[in-house]
Amino acid sequence: MKALTAFIALLILAGTFSVQAKDKHKHKTKRVLVFSKTMGFRHDCIPAAKLAIMQLGKENGFDVDTTEDASAFTADNLKKYAAVIFSCTTGDVLDDAQQVAFQNYIHKGGAWMGIHAATDTEYDWPWYNKLAGAWFLSHPHQQQATLKVVDHNHPATKDLPDEWIRKDEWYNFKDLNPDVHVLIKIDESSYTGGKNGDNHPMCWYHSFEGGRAFYTEMGHVKEAYQDPVYLKHLLGGIQYAIGNWSPKK
């Protein structure tokens, strides 16, 4: 009888452990990789961006790794991350094998998020252009401009005013992907040097080949990473990228 009782207790304990293990796996903390390798112009905001995203992670329940080493782009390593954030990357930052690993990561449901110069990256890789949504063309001097939020139904824009006035470095784009969902445009009449006309997107997102992509043009100036409005915008992009929000169908 004692042996039977002990056996039943063992089964109950095993069942409890199994439930706890499943529950722990279910609530595993999501992790993002902030990638800031530069092969062209290097933005002085990169350290501030890293620190800001790490702080957002601490405050909002996701883990953050940072690197400028492209050897992190392997299948085994990338599968640890809910999203990879290209933070002011420039130039040709991935070799052929790393590009393949990243494409496969996206195809398996991974996510890319780009900040500012992420569109000034990988000009010889057409797939990246479609993922990112555009390539950088040029920019005028830094100045104040008016951004128009065209869709508030996204965590990156839900708390922004209809017109968001701020100072930054405003990109003109080429090879814009028409399939992205635009969240913010810039009013070219509010500053000098715009070259995309009335349809000049500054922030967008889209589903892409099994994964997700989000881009915000803002973030050149170091001061942005101490601005609570911008940080909330950035956090909203991360929330979409890691799968904590999806558009209603």
210 contacts 221 by C-beta, under 8 angstroms: no
Helices (H), the chain: 2-26, 46-60, 75-78, 96-107, 126-132, 228-241
Name the residue among 170, 168, 224 with its Cα closest to residue 200: 170
Query: Bridge-partner residues for 84, per DSSP?
Result: 33, 112
Name the residue among 76, 80, 90, 79 with its Cα closest to residue 35: 90
pTM of the complete model: 0.89
Lowest mean pLDDT among 19-23, 54-58, 236-240: 19-23
Q: What is the pLDDT of residues 122-174, one digit of tens each?
A: 999 999 999 999 999 999 999 999 999 999 999 999 999 999 999 999 999 99
Residue 14's pLDDT is 43
Question: pLDDT band at 86, cuts 50/70/90?
Answer: very high
Question: Which residues have C-beta within 8 Å of that of residue 69, sequence separation ≥ 6?
Answer: 37
169 contacts 132 by C-beta, under 8 angstroms: no
DSSP one-letter code for 194: -
Judged against a pLDDT cut of 50, whether residue 50 lies above it is answered with yes
Q: What is the pLDDT of residues 166-211, one digit of tens each?
A: 999 999 999 999 999 999 999 999 999 999 999 999 999 999 999 9
| pLDDT above 70 coverage of the chain, percent | 89
